[in-house]
A and B are shown apart, each in its own frame.
Chain A
Amino acid sequence: MALWDLENSDCIVIMGSNMAENHPIAFRFVVEAKRRGATIIHVDPRFTRTSALADLHAPLRSGSDIAFLGGIIHHILENDLWFKEWAMAYSNIAHIIEDSYRGSEDQDGIFSGFDSDAGTYDEKSWQYEDKTVPSSIAEHRASSREGEQGDYRSMSKGPPHLDETLQHPFCVYQIMRRHFARYTPEMVESVTGCPKDTFLKVADALARNSGRERTGAFCYAVGWTHHSVGVQIIRACSIIQGLLGNIGRPGGGIMALRGHVSIQGSTDIPTLYNMLPTYLPQPNAFHDHMSLSAYLKVETPPTGWWNNFPKYMVSLLKAWYGADATPGNDFGYDHLPKLTGDVSQEPMTLCMVDGIVKGQFILGQNPMVGAVNTDMVERGLGRLDWLVVRDMAMIETADFWKNGRLIEKGELTPADIDTEVFFLPCAMPGEKDGTVTNTSRLVQWHDHVCEAPGDCRSDLWFIYHLGRRLKGLYETSTETRDAAIKALTWDYPLKGERREPDAETVLKEINGYTVADRTQVAKYQDLKDDGSTACGGWMYCGIYPEAGKNMARSRRPDTPGGKGAAHLDWAFAWPSNRRTLYNRASADPAGKPWSERKKLIWWDDGAGKWDGDDVPDFVETKRPDMRPDWATQPTGMDALGGDKPFIMEADGYCQLFVPTGLKDGPLPMHYEPLESPVRNPMHGQQHNPTAKIWARPGNELHPPEDPLHPYVFTTYRLTELHCGGISTRIMPHTAELQPEAFVEVSPELAGELGIQHLGWTVLSTSRASIEVRAMVTQRVRPFTIAGRTVHQVGMPWVFGRLGYNPGAVANALLAITGDANTSIHSTKAVTCGLRAGRLTEAERHPGPPQAAE
């Protein structure tokens, strides 16, 4: 959904986010919704400005989100509050699952298919009866074993088996009722600490504001993702929205409030290890990926939109390897490096420590503040052969060899550190041009207004000129290992004295062009799998549809009361300039809006096409009553009827139950965080059995109920300071507004520990101890969990040693861990110790390791 579409919501639940403080300008749409009569709810451990502006604040212990959301699902199912016509038609609630499936409720917290030696699941028993369902994002298979893909062609052989009476014991409805049976309001109160009555008000407000006439939305941020079960928290939310029919409709949806300016862009066009541009899987040596044809065969779902996958992949190879990419050499497929395991940021850090990574670029990121386990990061940096840092000002990551924590502690001196370090200053927005993608997929161009000072250059300049040099160094090589860099297309026009590459030319390549005459491709439907088109990122196709037409530059907002106020002429939203994904679901199966109040797109029978206020997310001329001809074993979109809005799924249904694509179970389940002050009150399995844990000295986890670390610790941002980077710490106004780090402590805990407001405290974990002043405040309250008092404390993670307002690094306290699906670290719910006072001399300067022992 577009940010401004929040205005159309009748109920907004903000959970895992402090939206008023951290996405302040987006919050104005929440305020507008409230003005129009919507109910605003904030579910959060702290009472923040978001809570102050909400109608209802529901407190919960950090890390208990699935218990809370599972409680809502339970409430909706048991009180029959779901939007039946919508969910019966569009979700997989009536699908029949294999009868070998066993729910985690029967097995003390583990689903069927678990391999306890490997710590992974096999998804066979989670499949639709007689089918093997491909994942919509092919990389996300639970198993990485070879030959495990199964028979996806089963999807072409007939529709999934449904029981529309919902009586079949293995239909999704019955499975969900059993799975969530224990998520009663009493259990919610006991696990989350949220009073039962408050919880019920939230569940009722949501249910009351859903249906034909009304819609509700959720807004979340990293308060949901930075957990060992982050993906499953969002899944729980999608089940609620799928039951209530709040997807693809005005004011309905799940709004991810993301952090950095182009964090969405850098996910789409990923500087991420496991994906090629726009969600194509990076080839993996342990999958059947040994040739292009094998890769395409196993990764292409036979049915649904992703059946077009080969066109996108071949077009990408053409964009990268140009004339060298021919059918005879698999379009240069072997040039792509193949994965042999998880090399995301967490293991990458450990690979630095272990001497596997020897040379590192750090481009606009500051892991000495932003990454977890700062001492481990610093150790890794000190073992590199060389390090290139590009930033606007000195950052903690670049001068670690001089002023780092290990130097300060006396463990190392600069003379012990061999790393050769390059610091290159960068240009800022206004000093370069290009596009950034906001949190609701809006791709906006920004202009080059001034030259950057001194040696500051754009990252485009840096990467282009580095590539040009490397191509020169490899020019005469005849080794096959160097074929990729030689074949790489790298001709971009250069502008001005500084020889700045032309960003528009790069954007045109991302959009795609026909190879023969190099004209722009207008839409991704025109891409081909025969090498006749090149495209750097299929989802962005259409952003530069013809010469001279940069849609990201378009700046015409709708006038108030204009056509649906979708602002289709303000910049470009991928894909196809569509503002609301799956908007086919805003109309009923026959193609009529569910209500006048919530209409978005509809079938125009006279014109024989879909029309509406947004760009329809459907085949434009597919009639609502079209049905697949199963006798022909249809593929692609021919296998999806005219009443199946979820076109990226292999059968077109919204997945309440996920047969393929999740590494930790087909339904969300409450597990305790990897570090928790309590035993899991719901079942014997304490934490997510598939979470990634890298136990090693310096990265130990605290056991449950650890008396040394009895408090829940969480981290967050501040309105004035942006994340771990140096930017807002070198800006006079923002630094002055937030001059010093602090830890928020409830008056009850402060009283118990003798902590004074503004007095010093020491926070400690097995990883590190830091000192910071206390903010004693009622914004933080103790919780009663399973009959016991549990205290929680919280600290902003946005301070560092440098800038105008130095302060302790909260992330030093945390351990390197990973969510099973995304490998993201847990920062929102760990445990810590706390005392009044300051670090002792022995804690502050332990000296070299031997002396410390």
Chain B
Amino acid sequence: MRKLSQGPGAHFRKFLQDWSIPRQIAGASLRDKAAESQTSRDLRPRLEEADRVGTSICPFCAVGCSQLIYAKDGVPIHIEGDPRSPVNQGTLCPKGGGTLGLLLSPKRVTDVLYRAPRSDKWEKKPLEWAMDRIAERVKRTRDETFVEKLPDGRTVNHTLGLGSLGGATMDNEENYLIKKLFGGGLGMLNIENQARI
């Protein structure tokens, strides 16, 4: 059991242990041994607890700074610039440096929300329910608005009734599948993102 109080002798012994002057007199270096104390001995590198690290790219601007993401028990605990990157050599700007605050922001929404027509509130919904319903709505709108041929007989095979906006914040693989499914599969033309220039 931990002692609830320590006698004056214990304090004195700790003081003597941490007192650096005798060690300095004995010739220890001011930069390490002579400066040591119980407090400094108890300091741990903040990443010691990480059980995983991965390379990432800063999610904000197109400079493309590399980051290292450290995680513990599946939760990110620290994000810093990757010193190996010739782009940023370990540095990050205030946005990149604050990335952990994005991943862990209390304002992140982690549920699917649904607003019925004319309703004045959000409702939580299961993800699978929402995916099924979105697929049905896409199919219905597509089937109602699809044009195979113009009045003069030219084949167009398109729908102008569906639109998609966004992409510049996403991965290339994601953009590829969006363009492939929406354009190549469904015949959508209104596909746009922030990259219009």
Contacts and interface: CB of A to CB of B under 8 A. Distances in A.
Contacts of B63: 3, 23-26, 257, 438-439
Interface stretch (B8-16, B20-28, B157-165): B157-165
A510 B175 CA distance: 11
A163 interface: no
Nearest to A454: B110
Contacts of B113: 398, 422-423
Interface stretch (B30-38, B41-49, B93-101): B93-101
Nearest to A442: B64
Nearest to A737: B94
Interface in B130-159: 130-139, 141, 144-146, 148, 150, 154-159
A365 interface: yes
Contact of A453 (B108, B179, B192): B108
A420 B141 contact: no
A446 B175 contact: no
Given A28-B91, A484-B185, A570 B166 contact: no
Given A357-B160, A443-B172, A362 B166 contact: yes
How many chain A residues sit at the interface, stated as a range, is 35 or more
Interface residues of B, number: 116
A459 B178 contact: yes
Given A23-B63, A272-B193, A449-B54, A337 B164 contact: no
Interface string A396-439: 00110110000000000011111111111100111110111111
B176 A423 contact: no
Contacts of B1: none
Given A22-B61, A358-B162, A365 B169 contact: yes
A437 B59 CA distance: 11
Given A430-B54, A430-B76, A437-B172, A263 B105 contact: no
Interface stretch (A670-678, A723-731, A784-792): A723-731
Contact of B197 (A447, A471, A503, A822): A822
B178 to A, nearest CB: 5
A394 interface: yes
Given A439-B64, A732-B101, A481 B178 contact: no
Interface string A435-474: 1111100111111111101111111101111110111011
A138 interface: no
B60 interface: yes
A734 B98 CA distance: 7
B193 A266 contact: yes
Contact of B101 (A264, A363, A418, A731): A731
Interface stretch (A94-102, A243-251, A295-303, A340-348): A340-348
A453 B188 contact: no
A258 B71 CA distance: 30
B2 to A, nearest CB: 36
B94 to A, nearest CB: 5
A363 B195 CA distance: 13
A365 B119 CA distance: 24
B190 A273 contact: yes
A455 B111 contact: yes
B95 A728 contact: yes
Interface string A23-38: 1111010000000000
B183 A336 contact: yes
B169 A423 contact: no
B173 A401 contact: no
Contacts of A338: 154-158
A771 interface: no
Nearest to B157: A337
Contact of A720 (B94, B155, B162): B94
B166 A271 contact: yes
B155 A334 contact: yes
B86 A4 contact: yes
A26 B169 CA distance: 19
Given A345-B196, A361-B166, A567-B86, A418 B117 contact: yes
Contacts of A728: 60, 95, 98, 102
Nearest to B131: A465
B162 to A, nearest CB: 5
Given A415-B118, A430-B69, A485 B102 contact: no
A465 B139 CA distance: 14
B170 A470 contact: no
Nearest to A566: B86
A470 B95 contact: no
A273 B169 contact: no
Contacts of B172: 262, 265-266, 268-269, 434-437, 443, 507, 510, 540
Contact of A558 (B86, B181, B188): B86
Contact of B192 (A273, A462, A507, A558): A273
Contacts of B112: 422-425, 455
B119 A414 contact: yes
A261 B62 contact: yes
B114 interface: yes
Contacts of A386: 134, 137, 141
Contact of B109 (A361, A392, A506, A803): A392
Contact of A344 (B74, B93, B192): B192
A484 B157 contact: yes
A558 B89 CA distance: 12
A367 interface: yes
Nearest to B192: A345
A417 B130 contact: no
Given A271-B175, A419-B117, A261 B71 contact: no
A794 interface: no
A434 B56 CA distance: 10
B110 A456 contact: yes
Nearest first, the 7 closest Cβ-Cβ pairs linking A and B are: A438-B64, A454-B110, A434-B171, A271-B167, A447-B54, A337-B158, A363-B166
Given A402-B115, A467-B181, A734-B94, 5 more contacts: A282-B189, A364-B166, A365-B165, A423-B113, A510-B173
